[in-house]
Amino acid sequence: MAEQAQAPMPSAAAPAPESPATPATVRMTYREAVREAIREAMHADPRVFVMGEDVGAYGGCYAVTKGLLTEFGPERLRDTPLSESAFVGAGIGAAVGGMRPIVEIMTVNFSLLALDQIMNTAATFLHMSGGQCNVPVVIRMTTGAGRQLAAQHSHSLEGWYAHIPGLRILAPATVEDARRMLAPALADPDPVLLFEHALLYNVSGDVPPADAFVPFDRAIVRRAGHDVTLVTYGGMLARTLEAAERLAADDGIEAEVIDLRSLRPLDEATILDSVRRTHRAVIVDEGWRSGSLSAEIAARIAEQAFFDLDAPLRRVCSAEVPMPYARHLEQAALPQVDGILAAVRPLVTR
């Protein structure tokens, strides 16, 4: 009997060519996002350095720069004396001299000690030099209340700075924005102020690949809706989104939520486009009502979209008092979800 022929062994398949790795979405905290943005910038450009109170060995007052001293050394993580006017002025001088400083001010209240440097020097130098001298400095500072730190550490003064020509004012409200806004801020030839709300540092979020990012100088619709436009920024975004979800669940009201992101310049087009579709608007601003950013937004809507409105404009702002220390009083002074609901419901049901 003939021996059965053995089937030939299959040859080993050639290895498939490796495809380039797709950048993955990364989950991190707001604090980590800011730190990674600083680290990336310092690796990318030797002119970038950080200066401010306790940014080195201590790791920053909110632990944003923790670990960077070991990685980059004291020449690029510079602890400064407790003099905001002095170290902000030094940062401006370094920027004029060709460096790319990131100046950290512990809290927005303390930035008033450097207001002369920011307003009378950084914001005006390009104009006063006839366009010959830019000031590419980035100034980061913590803003907002909710931590029981009383009146000297808890206010939202970014609306004051948004009043000043020559400055760009950014308010990252999400982890993704905190991660992505620093690079274009450093690339800007003019001074940029970044306002980071203190209650956001521990918040976690997903950071998608960089090519999914929306340009940082444009407002963004965080929630689509057709009944009313809610305009907000920074630390108030989460409360405004919560209010929008409750309006939908309890009242069938679909609110569109706009995150400004850039306070100067304001993205009027996105705001007005939304208002012309919803015909109603409520501005939620942690600043005080009088002379506020919310007043500016309301005025622009009234000037350019008055005949598109079906109801009066409303604002939800902090109580006009120095921020209290006691927790129940602090919460009473701040805009809350219930206050947003109370402002919206009469506009839609009238």
Active site residues: 84, 153
| Closest to 245 (Cα-Cα) out of 343, 346, 337, 311 | 337
Q: Are strands 168-170 and 262-264 parallel, antiparallel or unpaired?
A: antiparallel
Q: Can you point out the beta strands (E) in the chain?
A: 26-29, 48-52, 77-79, 100-105, 138-143, 168-170, 192-197, 204-207, 220-223, 228-232, 255-259, 262-264, 281-288, 314-318
Is the CB of residue 276 less than 8 Å from the CB of residue 249?
no
Strand ranges in 208-275 using DSSP code E only, listed in sequence order: 220-223, 228-232, 255-259, 262-264
Query: With contact defined as beta carbons under 8 Å apart, do 141 and 193 qualify?
Result: yes
Between CA 239 and CA 170 the distance in angstroms is 19
73, 46 Cβ separation under 8 angstroms: no
Distance CA 349, CA 305 (A): 21
Q: What are the counts of helices (DSSP H) followed by strands (DSSP E) for the chain?
A: 14, 14
- CB of 138 closer than 8 Å to CB of 102: yes
In the DSSP assignment, the letter for residue 130 is: T
Question: DSSP label at 311?
Answer: S
Nearest partner of 174 among 206, 147, 146, judged by Cα: 206
**Are the beta carbons of 285 and 320 closer than 8 angstroms?**
no
Tokens of 63: 């632990």
Helix (H/G/I), strand (E/B), else coil: 228: strand
- Output the CA angle 77-87-70, nearest 5 degrees: 10
Query: How far is it between the farthest Cα atoms of the chain?
Result: 106
- Taking the alpha carbons at both ends of the chain, their separation in whole angstroms is 99
